[in-house]
A and B are shown apart, each in its own frame.
Chain A
Amino acid sequence: MTRNTLIVFVILVLFLPFFPLLIWSFAKGWVFPQLIPEQWTLQHWAQLLLPTSRVIEGLLQSLAIALTTTVLSLLVGLPAGRAIGLIEFPGKEALKLFLLTPIIVSPLATLMGIQFMLIRLGLNGTILGVILVHLMPTIPYMTLVLSSVFANFDTGYETQARSLGASPIQVFSQVTLPLIAPGVVVGALFAFLISWNEFLLTFFVGAGRVFTLPMVLFTLLQGGNNGLVAAVAITSIVPGLLFLLLASKALENEAALGGVGNV
């Protein structure tokens, strides 16, 4: 089948950049033109654990920021997604488009304005400040995904549960949440990945004091130790990849993903 050959070729090309990363992370002095290093080592991986490399620190900060951002954007995105997905009201399209501006419009100018304010609030260079600006790209994605899932949600189930004696909180936790779960998972995946991968926003607002994994990688990249860079790069793939695999079932939900295709 030519179809399968093509798919295999595409997958191979997509995996191509991972090969040098993997080799470098175990290579000891891999000079040009060796195709395969002559000596292998675990020293780059051992170096990750040293406090001087600041990788553990970066990993923890990244995790804290990404998880908090995900939870906060979920809290904000759930009501917003419900409103857009289920209710017709004047100005809906305009408000939806407004909510999407942060993922389409360059944040540079905004960042300069926000930084001006954060400095005065004493939040510049703090984790809290970074989480705040990370909400800018995560809330739009969360809202898009959840509004699409809510658009396919039948509120009759909620009415039914209420008539059977469930309180509003019970209705949400026992009926609504399980039914929109794929959307919540996909929305959370997007939010987590965006925050986890974010460079520019952290770079600007973190002011060198908030040291997430992308900051560690960026700094190391200027240093030129390819082995260590490769090891850190691979490390920073792991959480996102795990999340993706866990969410792979939910990613087959057309409604959840279709939301991003329905700006």
Chain B
Amino acid sequence: MGTGVVRPQPIRATRPQFFRQWRAYLLLLPAVGIIGLLFGGGLVLAFLQSIGAIGILGAGRISLDAYWAAFTNPEFLRSLGLSLYIAIVATGLSTILSVGLALLLRSAGRWASLACQITLPIPHLVGIVGILLLLSPSGLISRGFYNLGWIQSDQDFPLLVNDTANIGVLLHFLWKEIPFVTLILLAVLRSINPAYEMQARVLGASRWQCFWNVTLPMMKSGILSASLIVFGYIFASFEVPFLLGSTRPRTLPILVYRAFTDTDLTRRPEAIALGIILSLFSILVIAFYSWLISRDHKSIQGV
């Protein structure tokens, strides 16, 4: 303390610390219990099945064969690559575009924000149907192009659904996730005191410098959180690539599903092993994220 002023500590009339803490654990018990039992328990049971400790065909020999089979599955690496490609591109693009949209909507009226949230309550399946009827070779846009004389037949329209580049999947995720991320970033933006930006401008920052040096850093944790949720969701998404994606290769979740529903029940441990590998990848992403957050957590604390 540089001021040399001694201020008396406020007297705390709270109950003993340990009591409050135990109360916190008690309050969290139902949530943690249910998630632990369902999610954690499910994962443990899955792992036991994958190593053959339990199984629908009864307990067998404990081995890691399923993991070996999973890793040597010729489609595994390509599927993993495709899943990562879709998740990274869709998350990256929707995050960047959402930052822009949130800034755009920041001072716009309520109707504009509400209209931009339109896709939030729409089920993914409905979006998929809409995108199919819009972008397929016989879709609305193709019809429009034909009537404008830009294409001669539906054969001329570029393949945008079930295509190898997964354009349809990416477009669907952008359409669905941009409003979600924007909604969160808008809340984050609104909670930033505009006086910080005012202060930066007065200290000599241009609009652009102000955005890079003040607004964006203050949005950082919100951006990270939202993109983590979106990445996790897209990486694990099943129905969107299943219905809109390329037929070969397939994303990892579809590969898992295919192996799981294979008529050959002996492939089931392999399917579960693949599923566990899929989960491990998401857990790695969480670990990376929490490392990123903890790195600059101190700077945000107490503000």
Residues on A facing B (Cβ under 8 Å): 3-4, 6-7, 10-11, 13-21, 23-24, 32-35, 75-77, 79-80, 82-84, 87-90, 92-93, 95, 97-114, 116-117, 132-133, 135-136, 139-140, 143, 193, 196-197, 199-200, 203, 213-214, 217-218, 221, 226, 229-230, 233-234, 236-237, 240-241, 243-244, 248, 251-258, 260-263
Contacts and interface: CB of A to CB of B under 8 A. Distances in A.
**By CB atoms of chain B within 10 A, which of A24, A112, A260 has the most?**
A112
Given A106-B278, A262-B221, 13 more contacts: A17-B131, A34-B143, A76-B30, A83-B28, A92-B24, A99-B32, A103-B232, A104-B285, A104-B286, A108-B256, A108-B278, A117-B41, A252-B110
A98 to B, nearest CB: 7
B175 A251 contact: no
B38 interface: yes
For the residues of B in contact with A, the DSSP-based class is helix
A106 B147 contact: no
Contacts of B245: none
28 contacts: A14-B175, A21-B126, A21-B133, A35-B144, A35-B147, A80-B30, A83-B28, A89-B25, A102-B38, A104-B282, A108-B238, A108-B275, A109-B256, A110-B39, A114-B41, A117-B42, A139-B31, A218-B125, A226-B133, A229-B129, A243-B121, A254-B187, A254-B190, A254-B191, A258-B188, A260-B226, A261-B221, A263-B225
Contact of B108 (A3, A83, A109, A111): A3
For the residues of A in contact with B, the DSSP-based class is helix
Contacts of A104: 228-229, 231-233, 282, 285-286
B99 interface: no
A37 to B, nearest CB: 11
Contact of A84 (B28, B43, B46): B28
Contacts of A106: 232, 235-236, 253, 275, 278-279, 281-282
A89 B24 contact: yes
A104 B285 CA distance: 9
B205 interface: no
Given A109-B278, A258-B187, A233 B130 contact: yes
Contacts of A76: 30-31, 34
A125 to B, nearest CB: 15
A80 B49 contact: no
B30 A221 contact: no
A76 B26 CA distance: 12
A100 B286 CA distance: 10
**By CB atoms of chain A within 10 A, which of B28, B30, B104 has the most?**
B28
Contacts, number: 309
Given A20-B140, A106-B282, A113-B45, A140 B184 contact: no
A5 to B, nearest CB: 11
Interface residues of B, number: 105
Interface string B111-155: 010111111111111111111011000111011101100000010
Contacts of A132: 38
